[in-house]
Protein backbone atom coordinates (compact mmCIF):
# COMPACT_ATOMS: atom_id res chain seq x y z
CA UNK A 1 0.00 0.00 0.00
CA UNK A 2 1.42 3.40 -0.91
CA UNK A 3 0.38 6.69 0.61
CA UNK A 4 0.77 9.92 -1.29
CA UNK A 5 0.96 13.24 0.52
CA UNK A 6 -1.63 15.51 -1.07
CA UNK A 7 -0.23 18.88 -0.20
CA UNK A 8 2.57 20.04 2.00
CA UNK A 9 4.74 23.08 1.35
CA UNK A 10 6.71 25.46 3.50
CA UNK A 11 4.46 28.23 4.69
CA UNK A 12 1.43 25.97 4.42
CA UNK A 13 -1.05 26.89 7.14
CA UNK A 14 -2.12 23.35 7.92
CA UNK A 15 -0.46 21.76 10.93
CA UNK A 16 -1.14 18.21 9.68
CA UNK A 17 -0.11 16.68 6.37
CA UNK A 18 -3.02 15.68 4.14
CA UNK A 19 -3.04 12.13 2.81
CA UNK A 20 -4.83 10.82 -0.27
CA UNK A 21 -5.28 7.27 1.01
CA UNK A 22 -8.96 6.71 0.24
CA UNK A 23 -11.08 6.25 3.34
CA UNK A 24 -14.75 5.96 4.06
CA UNK A 25 -16.27 7.86 6.96
CA UNK A 26 -19.72 7.69 8.51
CA UNK A 27 -21.38 10.97 9.49
CA UNK A 28 -25.04 11.25 10.48
CA UNK A 29 -25.70 7.67 9.39
CA UNK A 30 -24.33 8.13 5.86
CA UNK A 31 -21.03 6.89 4.46
CA UNK A 32 -18.83 9.18 2.37
CA UNK A 33 -15.52 8.75 0.55
CA UNK A 34 -12.70 11.06 1.59
CA UNK A 35 -10.86 13.21 -0.93
CA UNK A 36 -7.99 13.75 1.51
CA UNK A 37 -7.47 13.47 5.24
CA UNK A 38 -5.02 14.10 8.06
CA UNK A 39 -4.89 13.69 11.82
CA UNK A 40 -6.69 17.06 11.98
CA UNK A 41 -9.68 16.21 9.80
CA UNK A 42 -10.78 15.37 6.29
CA UNK A 43 -12.78 16.38 3.23
CA UNK A 44 -15.45 14.21 1.64
CA UNK A 45 -17.11 14.28 -1.75
CA UNK A 46 -20.72 13.64 -2.67
CA UNK A 47 -22.15 15.52 0.31
CA UNK A 48 -25.77 16.67 -0.08
CA UNK A 49 -26.82 17.09 3.55
CA UNK A 50 -27.91 20.07 5.61
CA UNK A 51 -24.82 20.62 7.78
CA UNK A 52 -23.40 24.16 7.94
CA UNK A 53 -20.00 25.57 8.87
CA UNK A 54 -19.36 25.53 12.62
CA UNK A 55 -21.89 22.81 13.41
CA UNK A 56 -20.84 20.02 15.76
CA UNK A 57 -20.88 16.47 14.36
CA UNK A 58 -19.66 13.02 15.34
CA UNK A 59 -17.51 10.89 13.05
CA UNK A 60 -19.28 7.63 13.78
CA UNK A 61 -16.93 5.23 11.98
CA UNK A 62 -13.98 5.14 9.59
CA UNK A 63 -12.21 2.62 7.40
CA UNK A 64 -10.30 1.96 4.24
CA UNK A 65 -12.10 2.26 0.92
CA UNK A 66 -12.23 -1.54 0.78
CA UNK A 67 -13.02 -3.30 4.05
CA UNK A 68 -14.89 -2.92 7.28
CA UNK A 69 -15.53 0.32 9.08
CA UNK A 70 -14.19 0.76 12.62
CA UNK A 71 -16.43 2.44 15.19
CA UNK A 72 -14.84 5.82 15.98
CA UNK A 73 -17.34 8.10 17.75
CA UNK A 74 -15.02 11.12 17.45
CA UNK A 75 -16.40 14.61 18.12
CA UNK A 76 -15.73 17.05 15.29
CA UNK A 77 -17.07 20.18 13.64
CA UNK A 78 -17.86 21.34 10.12
CA UNK A 79 -15.15 23.62 8.74
CA UNK A 80 -16.95 24.37 5.47
CA UNK A 81 -19.54 23.05 3.06
CA UNK A 82 -19.34 23.56 -0.70
CA UNK A 83 -22.88 22.77 -1.82
CA UNK A 84 -22.09 23.42 -5.48
CA UNK A 85 -19.16 20.96 -5.53
CA UNK A 86 -20.83 18.67 -2.94
CA UNK A 87 -17.81 18.75 -0.62
CA UNK A 88 -17.73 18.78 3.17
CA UNK A 89 -14.66 19.61 5.31
CA UNK A 90 -14.57 18.28 8.87
CA UNK A 91 -12.05 18.95 11.68
CA UNK A 92 -11.70 16.77 14.76
CA UNK A 93 -12.25 18.45 18.14
CA UNK A 94 -9.02 16.96 19.49
CA UNK A 95 -8.16 13.27 19.36
CA UNK A 96 -8.61 10.72 22.10
CA UNK A 97 -5.81 8.17 22.37
CA UNK A 98 -8.16 5.54 20.87
CA UNK A 99 -9.03 7.77 17.89
CA UNK A 100 -5.36 8.61 17.38
CA UNK A 101 -4.46 4.90 17.43
CA UNK A 102 -7.12 4.12 14.81
CA UNK A 103 -6.01 6.95 12.50
CA UNK A 104 -2.37 5.98 12.94
CA UNK A 105 -3.29 2.38 12.19
CA UNK A 106 -4.89 3.46 8.91
CA UNK A 107 -1.85 5.56 8.02
CA UNK A 108 0.71 2.90 8.91
CA UNK A 109 -1.18 0.01 7.31
CA UNK A 110 -1.95 -1.66 10.66
CA UNK A 111 -5.62 -1.66 9.70
CA UNK A 112 -5.57 -3.50 6.41
CA UNK A 113 -7.78 -4.26 3.46
CA UNK A 114 -9.46 -7.65 3.60
CA UNK A 115 -7.65 -10.40 1.70
CA UNK A 116 -9.29 -11.40 -1.57
Which domains, and CATH codes, for the chain? 5-108 (2.40.10.220)
Q: Is 28 helix (H, G, I), strand (E, B) or coil?
A: coil
For 89, residues 6+ apart whose C-beta sits below 8 A from its C-beta are: 41, 42, 43, 78, 79, 80, 81
How does pLDDT run along the chain (116 residues), one tens digit per residue? 444 444 444 444 445 555 567 899 999 999 999 998 888 999 999 999 999 999 999 999 999 988 889 999 999 999 999 999 999 999 999 999 999 999 988 877 666 544 44
Q: Is the pTM of this model over 0.85?
A: no
Burial of 107 per CB tally in 10 Å (0-12, 13-18, 19+): middle
Amino acid sequence: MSIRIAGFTHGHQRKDRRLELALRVEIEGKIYKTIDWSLGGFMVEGYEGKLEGGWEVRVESIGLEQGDLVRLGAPAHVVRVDKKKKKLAIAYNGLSSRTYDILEGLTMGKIRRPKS
